[in-house]
Amino acid sequence: MSCPRYRPFRYHLCQRAGVLSLGLFLVAWELIPHLSEQTAYFVAPPSTVLRTFWELARTGELLQHVSISFARAIGGLVLAAFVGVPLGVLLGGWFPLFERAVNPVLRLLGEINPFSLFPLFMIFFGIGETSKCAMIFWVSLWPILFNTMTGVRGVDPAYVKTARSMGAGLGTLLLRVVLPGASPLILNGLKIGAGTSFFMLIAAEMIGASAGLGWLVWNAQITYQIPKLFAATVAISVLGLLLNGFFTLIERRALSWRDAG
């Protein structure tokens, strides 16, 4: 539940409560490794994690792994958007018979656990970049496709009839009526697909990769570099938050016309 902005005192109290809870979490995290030698052996305190994080950033190692992971994620996500959005528009009500025929199959494919398919992707595409991009494409496609279909179905039929009565062709109808009307759910599908693709990529990089954030976590684990393991995990969490915030900002900017209306 969001903070009540229309009540300034409660709003500031709510904001401070969030900062306080984060501060208490960091203090507890800092103190827990000092409780026993065994705990210190498995848990790195935030001060050590920050030093390790800074060292990774200073040497450029962290930037290298981040750029590799983002390139893989963006490649699969863009391909999924190019396939999912047009297919979702076609299946969103323009061809009802075709939609009823393929929708059960699409729903079944969308429910398949992507981890169970990863060995198949490796068999067909090898352990290189193609298999990882194919995996990202697979997990990103379904939220984009299904959200686009729902958004197209939700467009007010009165707008479509009005545009047709004014002589709008199919292209104009799609670009001026259908896509703007479905854009909230399309953007929501892209945001969900981006978040899913990023974290799925981390798992894929732990299995078959020689670089990337997932590989960094896996390598730190097998070499038992606990501070490096925690630093890489924190980097993944921060990047996930930044990615979600980026798409939220894009969503707000792109849909400002809806709020103004």
pLDDT in tens, the chain (261 residues): 456 554 555 555 556 666 777 778 778 877 877 777 777 677 888 888 889 889 888 888 888 988 888 888 888 889 999 999 998 888 887 677 777 888 888 888 888 877 777 778 878 877 777 888 888 888 899 999 999 998 888 888 787 788 778 877 777 788 788 888 888 888 888 888 888 887 787 877 777 677 888 888 888 888 888 888 888 888 888 887 888 788 888 878 877 666 555
Q: Is residue 90 part of a domain?
A: yes
Count of other CB atoms within 10 angstroms of residue 244: 15
CATH of the domain at 206: 1.10.3720.10
Q: Is residue 21 part of a domain?
A: no
If you ran DSSP here, which 8-state letter would residue 211 be given?
S
> Which residues fall within 8 angstroms of residue 260, CB to CB, at 6 or more apart?
none
Q: Is residue 67 part of a domain?
A: yes
Host domain of residue 100: 48-254
- Enter the pTM of the model: 0.80
pLDDT confidence of residue 81: 92
Q: Is residue 190 part of a domain?
A: yes
Return d(Cα 217, Cα 185) in angstroms, integer: 34
Reduced DSSP (H G I as helix, E B as strand, rest coil) percent helix, strand, coil of the chain, to 5: 85, 0, 15
Strands (DSSP E) contained in the chain are none
Tally of domains in the chain: 1
> Which residues fall within 8 angstroms of residue 199, CB to CB, at 6 or more apart?
236, 240
Q: Is residue 114 part of a domain?
A: yes
Q: Is residue 19 part of a domain?
A: no
Of 149, 125, 141, 148, nearest to 76 (Cα)? 141
Q: Is residue 30 part of a domain?
A: no
Q: Is residue 225 part of a domain?
A: yes
- Residue 248 tokens read as 């939220």
